[in-house]
Amino acid sequence: MAKTLRVGMIGYRFMGKAHSNAWRQAPHFFSLKANVEMHTICGRDADGVKAARAQFGWQNSSTDWRAVVNSPEIDIVDINTPNDSHAVIAIAAARAGKHVLCEKPLALTVKQAEAMLAAARKAGIVNMICHNYRRIPAIAHAKKLILEGAIGDIYHYYARYAQDWIVDPKFPLVWRLQKGVSGTGAHGDIDAHIIDLARYLVSEFSEVSGLMHTFIKERPLMDAVGKGQGLGGKGGRKLGRVTVDDATMFIGKFKNGALANLEGTRFALGRKNHIQIEINGSKGSLCFDLEDLNRLKFFDNTNPGDRQGFRDILVTQPGGIHPYVGQWWPPGHILGYEHTFVHTVADFVNACVRGKSVQPTFEDGLKNQQVLAAVEQSAKTRQWVKM
């Protein structure tokens, strides 16, 4: 009889909704090695978390994350709170012997990330950072092609993550715009994803040179009703200082000799959640756009000259041809953003049963944090920073 893993999830808003859907759907579509029980959802607002419990399908709700972490009924702790609480919750969960899934960025600082990794290793628990974009079928397929040598030696990695949700100067000073809670702005929030994908697809970074900028220096403070919202809310008349970046750009080099060019911005009007990635190699190129996430573009320079050009690979073929899609629909029936979290949860649950972590682990989270910190240091000193 399969064992049952009981999940306690800390956080219930945007990411809480995405994670709840994943916990609910994964057992129905993937062959999990354990049963999953959505035991407790936790948040600071009693009414809000009770409503989330009913809406998302959790058995219980709580406003005390320490009680959830230390409960003998909980096997897995899923953390999707604001960034400033990741470390304290994850370390407490590890010490309590719970497996931990944590949203990105792993921590506020490199020191915190190191402490989280050390706690996880000492406890011997399965740990994972939720960089869900690794489990987009097109990205996983790109990794397969790269490992097979389809594009040869890699020369360039270009990535841009662009959004526009804070262009309006009247948009309030939510927690994502406060350094003490978020660590950084666009850099840690969205640059973190394309940094992780760079490490996944290309290599580790060797050195970086960065530029960080804040376009709007002051914003309306949150009113009592909107307090705590991450991606929205209503501001009052008083203004507060924005203490993070609105946009960050950096160039760099990888240890394998490839060059990097990355940009994260929340000031690109018309871009809602746009990731563009292009990887150029000695034999070909790969191109991906998150707003067309079921498609991977591949240029093969080994083809005859009269047949060259970027080809579209629609990554919806089941039967093991394309990653993950065999658990879903017939060929051509596309997947969406929410499926990446289901894939993440499915792999994490099976890792918990095996007792062996799968990437991206807290070690990956630490390495991402080191790149984030190096870029920030470079922007401050106006100098190149070696990793």
Q: How does pLDDT run along the chain (387 residues), one tens digit per residue?
A: 679 999 999 999 999 999 999 999 999 999 999 999 999 999 999 999 999 999 999 999 999 999 999 999 999 999 999 999 999 999 999 999 999 999 999 999 999 999 999 999 999 999 999 999 999 999 999 999 999 999 999 999 999 999 999 999 999 999 999 999 999 999 999 999 999 999 999 999 999 999 999 999 999 998 754 444 555 566 778 999 999 999 999 999 999 999 999 999 999 999 999 999 999 999 999 999 999 999 999 999 999 999 999 999 999 999 999 999 999 999 999 999 999 999 999 999 999 999 999 999 999 999 999 999 999 999 999 999 999
Where are the alpha helices (H) located in the chain, listed in sequence order? 14-29, 46-56, 65-70, 86-95, 110-123, 137-147, 179-182, 186, 192-201, 337-354, 362-381
The token pair that represents 143 in the structure block: 């990794």
The token pair that represents 223 in the structure block: 């009113």
Q: What letter represents residue 342's amino acid?
A: V
Residues of the chain with CATH 3.30.360.10: 138-292+294-335+369-381
Report how far residue 193's alpha carbon sits from residue 197's, in angstroms, rounded to the nearest whole number: 6
- The pTM of the full predicted model, rounded to 2 decimals, is 0.95
CATH number 3.40.605.10 given to 138-292+294-335+369-381 = no
Structure-token match 């995405």, residue found: 18
Residues of the chain with CATH 3.40.50.720: 4-133
Q: Could you count the other beta carbons within 10 Å of the beta carbon of residue 193?
A: 21
Q: Which DSSP helix (H) or strand (E) runs through 295?
A: strand 295-300
* Orientation angle between helical segments 137-147 and 192-201, nearest 10 degrees: 30
CATH of 4-133, one of 3.10.20.30, 3.40.50.1820, 1.10.1470.10, 3.40.50.720: 3.40.50.720
Structure-token match 């609105």, residue found: 246
